[in-house]
Amino acid sequence: MEFQFSNKMKNIKSSEIRELLKYIHMPGMISFGGGLPNPESFPGEELRNILDDIMENYVSSALQYGQTNGLPELKEQLAAYLKSDENINVDPENILLTTGSQQALYALPLIFANEGDYVITEAPTYVGMLSSLTASGIRSQSVSMDDNGMITDELEEKIKSMKSKGVMPKFIYTIPTFQNPAGYTMPLDRRKHLLELAQQYNIPVIEDNPYGDLRYSGKKLPTLKSLDTNDMVTYLGTFSKIMAPGLRTGFTVSQPEVLGEFNKLKQSLDLASDSLSQYIAYEYIRKGIIYKQIPKTIELYRRKRDIMLEALDDEMSDATWSRPEGGMFLWVKLNKDMDALKMLKRAINNKIAYVTGSAFYHNNPEMNTMRLNFTYSSDEDLKEGVKRLAKTIKEEKQSL
Amino acid sequence: MEFQFSNKMKNIKSSEIRELLKYIHMPGMISFGGGLPNPESFPGEELRNILDDIMENYVSSALQYGQTNGLPELKEQLAAYLKSDENINVDPENILLTTGSQQALYALPLIFANEGDYVITEAPTYVGMLSSLTASGIRSQSVSMDDNGMITDELEEKIKSMKSKGVMPKFIYTIPTFQNPAGYTMPLDRRKHLLELAQQYNIPVIEDNPYGDLRYSGKKLPTLKSLDTNDMVTYLGTFSKIMAPGLRTGFTVSQPEVLGEFNKLKQSLDLASDSLSQYIAYEYIRKGIIYKQIPKTIELYRRKRDIMLEALDDEMSDATWSRPEGGMFLWVKLNKDMDALKMLKRAINNKIAYVTGSAFYHNNPEMNTMRLNFTYSSDEDLKEGVKRLAKTIKEEKQSL
């Protein structure tokens, strides 16, 4: 049979990053391309004990369909965790469990925006949001970043300009802390400015905070959600980076009316998230393991970040890069005449993979950029990989 | 902040069935409303051993992000299982793992149909497909059923009539075996007729087969997929009814080009399904536990079906019902002047819950119908519940 697919599918491209996973498995390849946590950070032994307990005490519930909006016991634990960890004061009814936070990135645009509507994102921004916007035919305007994240003065101009044209954005999407892909963090004054603008123009904010717990240096900053006195912020968190990504457990924190809409949509998306994984997350907080595991992960990733930064300082010329205080990524800008996408073939030949920065733009990509992951590779590979990258850039420059 | 939601959200209603879960927990309530497998059917002890093995042997992979289209080892096991179980000859590349088969019910309409397009379903049909069509603004035409499932002569007329108006359906959705909600099964001649029509008019078929393994009487029939020589059928299976629904592991079997589209969309939906649950399913087949567990489940559910049918024969008057050869549900038709939705309040007062049949129609519901689940309740509750239902119907009739 010859199939005909919908018009929407024609617009969706396969994620360059997911495609890159192929190269990771080529012999000898060093990849800074993926966004994978390091398996060394997984609490394997602790989860084994947790699984024993679950199969002993909750086996019927852990294997049964759960409620669409998530395991009530986990929501209670999360509310307490959010209070102690991020000073976010919410009740369990403000929390909805998701199948990874990707599910929230898919659902929230559908909930807030009609096809053809506009939203505002940072440029560059997380591909998971971009692919979701594309899948739903939602357009975006983007705001530039500097070393301090989203330039909120530009955000203000953007909103004013949109308003003057009668086209208001349906939400502002931001990763204010250790941004993916750029590694930037917004300081307090910009956070406040963003919230002021959201209030003044009545625009909901989606704060995506997958990396907030992974700070390796500098001072902790309050989340937008904890600063939000007007219930404007929908906050996304995940266990992927602080427990294990394969368990696909994320959470959305928002007003009950927003979560009510999400609940309706989630019934169609997958009925409910994995029960067993939610029980694991529940016990992970309840037993306090989360509070012991995060410092271990921080120690591991701080070392890896420092190794990559030192290698870059030693090896790279004709490029600048972000110096993230946490998270998993840093952002490299080559000279303006370089094209990281064209250079990728040479990089693969030199057995080093990265993600081209262009993947992180909805429109007008900066072609001279790339994202490097520093959490997954071994210490040796971090050093060797940066050498190969520096060599690749040199060769590419000579070939221009 | 006052939120404005998208136009699409206004059309989506919360599933009546999911809402009914509330009543299940009221003290003394007997519910035939849910679609829950019986926890007695869960292979708790076996899964415990499997989990030990996984945490011993694959801990890093079972906790890491997996491939979007699913765990390769599980796809290989599934291909072998589909061959032996359903005589379906496919390669691993014809299989994509989903977060429950609900994810396929959400994705496939988006892949095959544009907003406003038509598809064909049975009437009544599974709510999970209806909610997905509503969420995506896709319309449906429905084909009536009798005791032998979809009336394919009516399907033929419907297609011809649509064709004459220049509006072809984008797919035909059917649950040919132990249908949800009605419990009907299509005999071989209708299966062949449906496939002939699909071929003649070049319409893809979605065969949803969550219950096929759960046959309690009668002779096994070939799936549409196993009869399909033209690659027209996309087949949906799930571990929810033969292992455990909380592990949210379903699978879609189709042509690589269809699965390629699904893969792109799934990157936005949730990136990848739960890795741990996929490893559990993998070991569940590999160790052959699935072949021992299904006969146990069949024995349990056959007894429960027989108890409910006997109770209905003994207690009910002024109603007819299906006599399913498998699956989880049967379908009750009251007299034409009765309204099962209006009657539900009285039923709840009498501490018996069901799902009104109207929930299973996209348009023109038959209000005198209801779905009863016979797998979840205890043997005693099955008998007592039918008594309460018969009493409720009598009272309601007298009040008319």
Phi, psi of A371 (to 5 degrees): -110, 130
- Nearest-Cα residue of chain B relative to residue A243: B63
Residue A156 belongs to what domain range?
Answer: 60-289
Residue partners of A313: CB distance under 8 A and separation at least 6:
none
Q: Which two tokens stand for residue B102?
A: 């609900």
Residue A399: count other Cβ atoms within 10 Å of its Cβ: 9
**Other C-beta atoms within 10 Å of A215: how many?**
21
Q: How far is B391 from chain A (nearest CA, A)?
A: 31
CATH code of residue B311: 3.90.1150.10
Amino acid B17: pLDDT = 63
Of the pLDDT bands very low, low, confident and very high (cuts 50, 70, 90), residue B21 is low
pLDDT of residue A248: 97
Residues B182 and B93 placed together within one structural domain of the fold? yes
| Domain final residue pick, B222, B254, B288 | B288
What is the share, in percent, of chain A residues with pLDDT greater than 70? 98
Same domain, A78 and A211: yes
> Nearest Cα to A252, choosing from A271, A273, A230?
A273
Residues B138 and B282 in one domain: yes
Answer yes or no: is A55 within a domain. Answer: no
* Per-residue model confidence as pLDDT tens digits over A69-123: 999 999 999 999 999 999 999 999 999 999 999 999 999 999 999 999 999 999 9
Residue B260, domain member (yes or no)? yes
Residue B105 within any structural domain of the chain: yes
Interface test with A, best of B130, B197, B268 (most A CBs within 10 A): B268
Q: Which of B232, B256, B288 is the last residue of a domain?
A: B288
Name the average pLDDT for chain B: 95
Same domain, B235 and B276: yes
Count of domains observed in chain B: 2
Q: pLDDT band at residue B225, thresholds of 50, 70 and 90?
A: very high
**pLDDT value, residue B18:** 61
Residue B119: is its pLDDT beyond 90?
yes
DSSP 8-state assignment for residue A250: E
Are residues B201 and B73 both part of a single domain?
A: yes
pLDDT at A48: 95
What does the block give as tokens for A58?
């909750």
Let me know if residue B192 belongs to a domain.
yes
The interface pTM score, or ipTM, of the predicted complex is: 0.96
Contact status, residue A188 vs residue A149, Cβ threshold 8 Å:
no
In a domain, A53, yes or no: no
- For A248-260, the pLDDT digits (tens) are 999 999 999 999 9
Beta strands, E only, B209-334: 233-238, 249-253, 319-321, 329-334
CATH number at residue A102: 3.40.640.10
pLDDT band at B10 (very low <50, low <70, confident <90, very high): confident
Closest-CA residue of chain A to B248 = A274
- Report in angstroms the alpha-carbon separations of B373 from A43, B200, B355: 40, 37, 9
**Closest residue of B to A67, CA-based?**
B18
pLDDT tens track for B257-299:
999 999 999 999 999 999 999 999 999 999 999 999 999 999 9
A50 found inside a domain: no
Which amino acid makes up residue A336?
K
Whether residues A270 and A342 fall in one domain: no
Residues B192 and B277 reside in one and the same domain: yes
Residue B51 forms part of a structural domain:
no
End residue of a domain, out of B288, B311, B333: B288
Looking at the structure, tell me whether residues B126 and B253 fall in a common domain.
yes
Does the distance separating the beta carbons of B268 and A106 come in below 8 Å? yes
- Pair A230, A299 in one domain: no
Residue A20 pLDDT class (50, 70, 90 cuts): low
Give the gap in angstroms from C-alpha B80 to the nearest C-alpha of chain A. Answer: 24
